[in-house]
A = this chain, B = another copy of it.
Amino acid sequence: MNLDSETKAVELPDDHGTELRLWLRLLTCTTLIEGEVRSQLRETFDVTLPRFDLMAQLDKVADGMTLSDLSKRMMVSNGNVTGLVERLVESGHIDRRTSETDRRVQFIRLTKLGRAEFRKMAAEHEKWIADIFADLSPKDIRELMRLLAKAKGSAQRSAKARTA
């Protein structure tokens, strides 16, 4: 009996089942963790995940960034950022000022309050994430990082090819 030809007979030329299963597993994993983080943020700090994410982007820089920068970094639409920023200005976590040189541009940055609150949340957040991945060895994590980087590159290539 020829095992190779058997194997080939089972796998049709256009069988993309393994990729699909990979995608579903990736999605399940992310949704699961995202839901967990969302719950923790709400329960512990009464803050939503999108607000936390926006503040996280702003916390990386000292002097603020534009709405476009924010929407690119967060990988969400412009209109989405407009609304989020509005509510965070309202609650006193960020402030906005119009550029001196280009009146289309708005610079957004954390207020003192916003940065202080974010730092507190970020510290807890990091612990939750560490616990969520606690069963993974350092080697597992390294491998996952490597493979996800490869997957990301592949997806970007695919998206680019389609748009081109």
Interface residues of A (CB under 8 A from B): 14, 16-23, 25-36, 40, 75, 125-136, 138, 140-141, 143-145, 147-159, 162
Residues in B whose Cβ lies below 8 Å from that of A23? 33, 129, 132-133
* Most B C-beta atoms less than 10 A away, residue of A16, A36, A40: A16
Interface of A is mostly: helix
A144 to B23, CA, bound (A): 10
Knowing A26-B30, A75-B32, the reply to whether A132 touches B145 (Cβ < 8 A) is no
Could you say which of B130, B152, B159 contacts A19, with CB atoms under 8 Å apart?
A: B130
- The answer to whether A132 and B148 have CB atoms under 8 Å apart is no
User: How many identical subunits does the complex contain?
Assistant: 2
- Residues of chain B within 8 A (CB-CB) of A22 are 133, 136, 141, 144-145, 148
Name A163's closest neighbour in chain B (CB-CB). B39
Q: Which chain B residues lie closer than 8 Å to A138 at the CB level?
A: 18
Other-chain contact of A32, B19, B131, B133, B159 (Cβ < 8 Å) = B159
A151 nearest in chain B by CB position: B29
Which of B20, B34, B145 sits near A129, CB closer than 8 Å?
Answer: B20
Chain B residues lying within 8 Å of A135, measured Cβ to Cβ, are 150-151, 153-154, 157
CA distance A68 to B36 in the complex (A): 20
A143 → chain B, closest Cβ, in Å? 6
| Closest beta carbon of chain B to A28's beta carbon, Å | 6
* CB nearest neighbor in B for A149: B25
A130 partner residues in chain B, CB cutoff 8 A = 16, 19-20
Report if A26-B148 is in contact (Cβ < 8 Å); known contacts: A16-B130, A143-B143.
Answer: yes
